[in-house]
Structure 1
């Protein structure tokens, strides 16, 4: 395979004329498929699909037939298949990339192929389509003027807690993906890191028959999720409060001490100070512990 000779299996392709098309697919209801998707599926030289069986169901729902070669392109083979597809693009092929749901590259395969195409000067375009991120954000009832997408949280508790501590002071609305069997643990960790009263929304099975949007505080949602949740999950979390100067560790310790002197239990005092300051409870707790150990304090 070279970049100067048209491929025999792409009779209309010419060197340098390759095109990578990233196509959005329905996140639930097949009727949400963008109109251009059907035409792209029918005319692409190569269709790279995250799951070829789901692709087959989608083409049946749309009443279209792929005429090009269909290959799998998923997390397990993305690294090794990217050079192959990049070679097809260099030879002038029109390659269509689709994932199971939503836009490629958004917590799905695609980034490597886009980077490879850009590096060799191949044009990249998109068929805009449904997005679980934007759909959940719009339905959440939380501020949408500024937001950030955080993808999936780490599976291990310690790594997850560290990621959330880093995000605790983020003022923008945050969007996460989560597996249903890890949802309760994730929401509990968020409540610990962000504060139990931080508002959030859990969006389940978006655009599907059993679509549900559950809104409340992180503590309320964590309790709700303990009973078990099914389906595709997107979590939207309110950003950290803004305005006012962020108190330093000494000030956090002072505020806890004032509450303790008034008779409040230390655990409750830490929780209330964290809520008032808009910082994670762990941060206040660590500051109090450090102050108790310091020889320069009266503790």
Structure 2
């Protein structure tokens, strides 16, 4: 057996154990709250604790709940960051589309009391913004492709693909196929006005069928909420180039506070810098908060011993 003491892998295992132990304690606390009549939908853990199998009525095991919480905290944020990055970039070079998004988001903001958080009803009103997100995913899918198994012999361009072979399909080639999407190189969110007109399994940014991306709704929430607050704070974008594929984004991001004072101004931001910044907001803030709570919990447990 190979010893992995003093390695990064070992540190990862120990860190994982600490996070899992903290989550187990938190789950126990939430169980007690539910027994006292707490709202079963107040947060993710209470929702998972209250979930029951439709067939046998059994709930999720502690391990299943822990795994799902960690999944939500860590998985899929890179893809969401890529989506939001290119949404910002494409809005920067499409003033009319940005104006429509701005109008939609301002309408939602004005309909709410000052300081009130977004609700499901608010997200449901962001129809045009979501079409912008879908068109962004079509033009710049975060996933390269995937494998499919041939269920029968297939002839393609004179080549025979035998039944049982694994076929790798590229998402970008499908989403930029002009036989499916008219003028595929044109950024046009209105093409999603009638999604029923798009052939089945042609828009596959989130996959399709029973194994489609389980984080679809989560990614949708992240994108819509992020764009809402960027627009609400007075996001202004200006560009020097109209090519969103460039490594260097030649635009200015400027956010202003409620008194219209400039807060942040950055020029010439690299795509990766924006992507990593958004990733930090979603991933590191969550994990750092979890780590801090874990440390506080450990200190409290230690103090109880004396």
Common fold, TM-score beyond 0.5?
no
The normalised TM-score by structure 1 is: 0.23
The normalised TM-score by structure 2 is: 0.23
**Max radius of gyration: which structure?**
1
Q: Give 1 or 2: higher strand fraction.
A: 1
Q: Give 1 or 2: higher helix fraction.
A: 2
